[in-house]
Chain A
Amino acid sequence: MTAIGLSYAPGDTVVHRLDARTKLLGQFVVALLAFTWTDALALPVVWALVVGGMALARVRLRSVFPGYALPFVLLAFATLTRTVTLGPPWVDVDAGLAATLHSLRVAAILLASAVYVQTTPVSETQAAISRLVPGKPGRFLAAGTSFVLRFLPVLLADLQSARAAQQARLGDQRRLHERMQTVALAGLNRAFERADRFSLALKARCFAWNPTQPRLSFSRTDWLVSAGFVGLLAVAALA
């Protein structure tokens, strides 16, 4: 089963109905605020945006974790290693706090990206990028982004099935590095085979760099939401 966290989930929420360009702007604003706005107010505002976006888009944490488990585990691990020291005083509160804040910023960006991916069809992302970046660079960027969004969930599912197949034959009794090696190797092999078949299928269906793009329409809601994002950026700049 494909991890929903990294692919589009059809729906009719207000976030689903927003233009892809508005949502891309939202992504950009969340990332910018998370890392450039150092005020004490910054993190609560960023998280309010992300949690609000998730609620409006009806994106559940449970659906996000399959796709983002690894980065979340790495963030937790990084925070832990910064907090705990190997000698006295054993716990470095200042370093731990800094690492926690940093991890919360990254986690907010990841969740914002999950909201975007789950509410925006790949073809609309492709269309939005093509319009925002004119000419050939835009077409290459749009097609590249769409390939990543299309291929990544399948790749992840392959890794999960390789892991399950390994566990079914008691592979989980082996040492961690052996397990990682086996899953990575099997996953890579499958990824290459799948990439070959995927590229053949694209050719068979006349893949074009300049396909008919879906219609994008900037509604009144899009203008309002975009104005809100720009306003937030202005507040952050003045703070």
Chain B
Amino acid sequence: MIETRDLVKTFDGVPALDGLSLTIPDGEFVVLAGPNGSGKTTLVRHFNGLLEADAGEVLVDGTPVQDDLVAARVAVGMVFQHPRDQFVAATIGEEVAFGPRNLGLPHHEITDRVADALDAVGLGGRDEERVAALSGGEQERLAIAGALAMRPAHLVLDEPFTGLDAPAQAAVRDRLAALKAAGTSVVVVTHDLRDVADLADRVVVLRDGTIAADGDYDAVHERLPDLGVRQP
């Protein structure tokens, strides 16, 4: 479970999060929506300690994130908005192995994790292919595989559909549906609900660093246009 309590974060005196409290139970598919600058990315970067709050706290499975950053980063896998920027290797297999190697795992475990993660995103058996030769949708799926190889309990994806064409969006969406079916908690950050509305157990809408709406899609959808969120 991910829990934030009265989270406050400011950048150069401008509040990005303003006393935000949110609980994400295990296994839930949450869409974190809101217009640009509403605090979505800032919020999720607190989930694994990439940002430190000015006030308030974040707990992952009951442990304050800042007490054990490695545990938090293993538990909360993160896929960033520009997947190409997070790639560290020239080939697909090396790329996915990067995280497990950092954990100091034995070789056979790393091999297993790489194979499982690539299978989960539909890139199985392509270990030796060049990352630079992948399409945008494949790069997004590779970034997801890189996060999955850490075997996270929660997977956070920041704007995973940005810049993808319709078939690539569908492929990523299918993979997210499969992850949801497998019981992984998924948090998708987006300003456009059209791709994930039917997958979402819950939609949380942020505005000015606070929660403006929180509930299942049917409960919040009428308010979405006023909150700057595109919907189906």
- A212→B107 contact, CB < 8 A: yes
Chain B residues contacting A122 (CB-CB under 8 Å) are 88-90, 94
Q: Of the candidates A7, A150, A200, A210, which one forms a contact with B80 in the assembled complex, judged by CB atoms under 8 Å apart?
A: A200
Expressed in whole angstroms, the minimum distance between the Cβ of B196 and any Cβ of chain A is: 21
Q: Chain A residues with Cβ under 8 A from B85's Cβ?
A: 154, 194, 197-198, 201
Residues 109-164 of A at the B interface (beta carbon under 8 Å): 121-123, 150, 154
Give chain B interface residues in 87-135, CB to chain A under 8 Å. 88-91, 94, 97-107, 110, 128-130, 132
Q: How far is the CA of A200 from the CA of B78 in the complex (A)?
A: 10
B156 to nearest A CB, angstroms? 9
Interface centre among A194, A206, A214 (most CB of B within 10 A): A206
Candidates B97, B104, B110; contact of A210 at CB < 8 Å: B104
A177 interface residue, CB < 8 Å from B?
Answer: no
Taking a contact as CB atoms under 8 Å apart, the answer to whether B80 and A205 are in contact is no
List residues of chain A with CB within 8 A of the CB of B48: 204
Residues in A whose Cβ lies below 8 Å from that of B94 = 8, 121-123
Within 8 A of A (CB), among B143-195: 146-147, 150
Contact, CB under 8 Å: A7 / B90: yes
The answer to whether B50 and A206 touch across the interface, beta carbons within 8 angstroms, is no
| A202 CB–B CB distance under 8 Å | yes
Q: A10-B91, A123-B89, A197-B80 are in contact. Are A206 and B73 (CB under 8 A)?
A: yes
Given contacts A10-B130, A212-B105, contact A203 B89 (CB under 8 A): no
Q: Is A9 on the interface with B (CB-CB < 8 A)?
A: yes
A215 to B103, CA, bound (A): 16
Number of A-B residue pairs, CB cutoff 8 Å, is 95
Residues in B with CB closer than 8 Å to A212 are: 100-101, 103-107, 110
Known: A10-B91, A122-B89. A1 touches B128 (CB 8 A): no
Could you list 9 A-B pairs, sorted by A, with CB under 8 Å? A122-B88, A122-B90, A123-B98, A201-B88, A204-B77, A206-B150, A211-B102, A212-B100, A212-B103
- With contacts A122-B90, A206-B103 known, what are 6 further pairs, Cβ within 8 A? A8-B94, A10-B130, A208-B103, A210-B104, A212-B107, A214-B107
Taking beta carbons and an 8 Å cutoff, which residues of A are in contact with B? 1-2, 4, 7-10, 121-123, 150, 154, 194, 197-198, 200-208, 210-215
Q: B residues engaging A (CB < 8 A)?
A: 45, 48, 50, 70, 73-74, 77-78, 80, 82, 84-86, 88-91, 94, 97-107, 110, 128-130, 132, 146-147, 150
